[in-house]
Amino acid sequence: MRITLLMLIAFMMLDLINCSTAQAPAGRVTYAVPKSPVDLVKQYYRDVAWRLPERPFEYAYIYDSANFLLKHRDEMLQTLNVAETVEVETLGVCFVRYSVGGNVYRDARWIRKIDGDWFICAREYFSSYADDPFGDGNPQHAKKLIERVDAWNKDSSPKWW
C-alpha cells in the first residue's frame, strides 16, 4: 500500500514538473479594425462573405453555392468595387458590385459605427414599412435610403447561390 501511494505521489510530481515546463499556447491573433467603410467592406468580402474555410474541401463538395463561390471567388474579388458609401450618423450602407464572367452582381452592405469604428451590421435588412427604420428620428431619410438599396439590389444579375 505504501509503495503504491509513493508511486502515485511520484507520478503526480512528474506531471507537475512537466506542466511547469510546458510552453504556453500561442496568443490570439489580433486584427486591426479597418479605418474606413470601404476598407471594412473589402475585408468583409475578402475574408467573410464567402463563408468558406481555407480548406475548400470542407463545404465545396456538399453545397452548390459553396462550390460556385469557391470556383469564382478570385474573379469576384478582382472585380470588387465599392461604388458609393452613404453614412447617416452611426449607420451607413456601402453599394458594392463585382462580376463573374459577363454578369454584374450588386450588393448593399449595411455598416454601423461603434466608438468611432465601422463594423458590418449584423442586420442585413431594414423595412421601409417601419415607422422609424433606423430608430434615429429621421424616418423619411431612412426610407429613401432603403428604397435606394432595394433599387441597387434589383439591378443586379440574379443570384442563385
Global pTM value:
0.71
pLDDT in tens, the chain (161 residues): 555 544 545 545 545 454 444 444 455 556 677 889 999 988 888 776 655 555 555 666 677 777 777 788 889 899 999 999 999 888 999 999 999 999 999 999 999 999 999 999 988 888 988 999 988 888 999 999 999 999 999 999 988 76
CATH number among 3.10.450, 1.10.3470, 1.10.10, 3.40.50, domain 32-154: 3.10.450
* Contact predicate 38/15, CB 8 Å: no
pLDDT value at residue 72: 87
User: Roughly what angle, to the nearest 10 degrees, separates helices 64-79 and 37-47?
Assistant: 140
Place of cell 462550390: 67
* Contact predicate 105/81, CB 8 Å: no
CA distance 22 to 148: 58
